[in-house]
Chains A and B, each alone.
Chain A
Amino acid sequence: MGPHSSIKGAAVAAVLALFAFAAFPAFSGMKMAMPTAQGFAVAKEVYSSDRLFLVKVISIPKPIPFEKYFGVQFAIYDGHNPKRLLRDAKVTLFAGMRHGLKHGFAHGMESSPKLSENGGVFTVKGMYFHMMGPWTLKATVRADGKKDVAYLRLPCCGK
């Protein structure tokens, strides 16, 4: 083996080692975000995937409590006219953690929250996060004869 091939071998090994080290970026990223104050920030509004709807968060605990029940309030607006509240919107929710999955969830919550609506304002009671890290609230919205899905990132947690 000549000197160049051994150098090449070492370089390849190093690259592989780097890949191995970064093999779980989502997981380490999740951990890194937890202790900082910024990590607890929740987006105040989020568009659905096709921008048909805008989900505006009205209230949510800051920070979200760990292993305690909490509630969320939000409203649905027209994605093309964000001042237009959609009073007839229908919403179904699922909250879970992805843990790096591209599709779907690794698990959901250990609770079944209750969702109610009043004048276009949706109130969710009974949210419960039992695991540290970023949770995702998936809101499937139906309004104006259309359907779209919005994902709200909810970082967990404070004490």
Chain B
Amino acid sequence: MTLRERRGASIAAIGVIAALSAFALGLDAASTAPSDDRALYTQSELAAIFRLSPLGTPPADPTDGVANDPRAAALGQYLFFDPRFSANGKISCASCHIPARGFTDGRRVAKGMALGTRNTPTIINAAFDEWYFWDGRADSMWAQALQPLENPREFGGDRLVILHAVYGDGPLRNAYAALFGRPPALGEAKRFPAHARPATDPNSPLAKAWAAMAPSDRRAADRMFSNLGKAIEAYERRLVAGGSPFDRYVRALKAGDVAGEEAMPVAAKRGLKLFVGRAHCDLCHSGPLLSDGQFHNLGLPLLLGEAPDPGRAAGMAEVKASIFNGVGPFSDDPRGLAKQKLEFLPTPKSALGKFKTPSLRNVALTAPYMHDGRFASLREVILFYAEGKAASKGRLVGVREKTLSLIPHLSANEQSDLVAFLKELDSAPLPPALTRPPVAP
């Protein structure tokens, strides 16, 4: 290479460095010179950002015929806050889904009658989900609502004691009857024992009592039980919250509203650019819920003393076997999407160790994180992803999804930027009337 060629090459090289530096510093430069933020993002990044907002309205749930009935929502809200359905009379849905904590409990794992094994997910915006629980073992919100009532670690109740509690409370029984018609003749103690439920151990007193009931009475009890779940769903469907600073920012971006683009700080904008760009977070945290609603194996190694959790693999078996699933006798529309969801479930082997992608809306309010609550802060979560495969050393359940390899090394500043972005996803507070026990059902 001649001296002239070398000089030419050096000028070209300096030009490249300058261009790359300008790209890298683009957000900072833009922050000092007011301009439309759309210039900060590539076209594909903008398209990805626009797919994340606004939140919109929840999809219909045709399996629940009263999902949008305000009377059902009022009854469901009453049930949600009522502790009488638990074995010790102290636990309600709101014990773990605490309104002031983003409808979570702040604990690593849930605590009802005993400690559970999984972290309490929020129910804000849960109406957008297609699967419930970390392992998707319920395919509707109403079917989800029933399980804690009979879980020994949560309410520790059984469906008959719960039905009797509703039946024995005049206003509750009236509210139920107004929606669903006359309840079964629960006053007939010989037909409807005080305690009964199906159980895996056929020799348990609860299972024996259940087996001793007439099939038609069992069916009537199941019907009433499922209706209570549908009322709770009607309430939970109203816990929809968008209106975050991020939503305001996207609205301003779409409109080219420069003043409105101040809705998010510069660090959060850098985080957003990473989120939809180089860090590929939006591959799984996609759509207005910032979740694909599906299941992934993140390669989380077992913690000391933690039992292997098969996750989705077990959840699929449970949802298929449940009489309260979307194609079962208590579904109000066993066709359509409900049928497809169960018909095309993936193989159990492919689902081992997978857990549902949580929504990132309100994520700053819902620490700790992951299905077992192992990470106390968002910073710890981001660090886990940033460390790549090295963070997955140890015993895994199933196979770590290779999609995670798309996440590049993230500097400490980049990790901070992502956390800054996530903190802009907190929604406006829900109306107070939705976050406290109602006076009457």
A binding-site residues for B, Cβ under 8 Å: 4, 7-8, 10-11, 13-15, 17-18, 21, 23-24, 27-28, 31-32, 34-35, 67, 69, 97, 99-101, 104-114, 125-126, 128, 130-133
CB distance from B126 to the nearest CB of A (A): 16
B binding-site residues for A, Cβ under 8 Å: 6-7, 9-10, 12-14, 16-17, 20, 43-45, 47-48, 277-278, 280, 282-284, 286-287, 292-296, 337, 340, 343-347, 350, 401-403, 405-406, 408
CB distance from B88 to the nearest CB of A (A): 39
Residues in A whose Cβ lies below 8 Å from that of B12: 11, 14
Q: Are B47 and A34 in contact (CB under 8 A)?
A: yes
A31 is contacted by which of B7, B14, B44, B286 (Cβ under 8 Å)? B44
A11 is contacted by which of B13, B337, B403, B405 (Cβ under 8 Å)? B13
Contacts known (A14-B17, A67-B293, A126-B344); A101 close to B402, Cβ less than 8 A: yes
Q: Are B402 and A131 in contact (CB under 8 A)?
A: no
Bound form: Cα–Cα A128–B294 in Å: 11
CB pairs A–B below 8 angstroms (11 shown): A7-B7, A7-B13, A35-B47, A99-B405, A106-B402, A106-B403, A106-B405, A110-B295, A110-B346, A111-B346, A133-B283
Residues in A whose Cβ lies below 8 Å from that of B350: 108
Closest B residue by C-beta to A132: B286
Q: Are B346 and A10 in contact (CB under 8 A)?
A: no
Contacts known (A107-B401, A110-B295, A113-B344); A10 close to B14, Cβ less than 8 A: yes
**Which 4 residue pairs spanning A and B have beta carbons closest together?**
A126-B344, A14-B13, A106-B402, A7-B10
Closest A residue by C-beta to B280: A27
Q: Are A97 and B13 in contact (CB under 8 A)?
A: no
CB distance from A140 to the nearest CB of B (A): 17
Bound form: Cα–Cα A23–B296 in Å: 25
A34 is contacted by which of B7, B9, B44, B346 (Cβ under 8 Å)? B44
Q: Are A35 and B43 in contact (CB under 8 A)?
A: yes
CB distance from B397 to the nearest CB of A (A): 16
Residues in A whose Cβ lies below 8 Å from that of B47: 34-35
Contacts known (A35-B43, A114-B343); A17 close to B6, Cβ less than 8 A: no
Further contacts, 19 of them, CB under 8 A, given A97-B403, A132-B48: A7-B9, A8-B6, A10-B17, A11-B9, A11-B12, A11-B13, A24-B408, A31-B44, A99-B403, A106-B402, A106-B406, A111-B346, A112-B347, A114-B343, A125-B344, A131-B284, A131-B286, A131-B292, A131-B403
Q: Are B10 and A11 in contact (CB under 8 A)?
A: yes
Bound form: Cα–Cα A128–B102 in Å: 31
Contacts known (A32-B44, A34-B47, A112-B346); A126 close to B406, Cβ less than 8 A: no
Bound form: Cα–Cα A31–B344 in Å: 28
Residues in A whose Cβ lies below 8 Å from that of B294: 110, 130
CB distance from A20 to the nearest CB of B (A): 9
CB distance from B278 to the nearest CB of A (A): 7
Residues in B whose Cβ lies below 8 Å from that of A4: 6
Closest A residue by C-beta to B276: A31
Residues in B whose Cβ lies below 8 Å from that of A97: 403
CB distance from A96 to the nearest CB of B (A): 10
B17 is contacted by which of A7, A17, A31 (Cβ under 8 Å)? A17
Residues in A whose Cβ lies below 8 Å from that of B346: 108-112
Residues in A whose Cβ lies below 8 Å from that of B45: 31
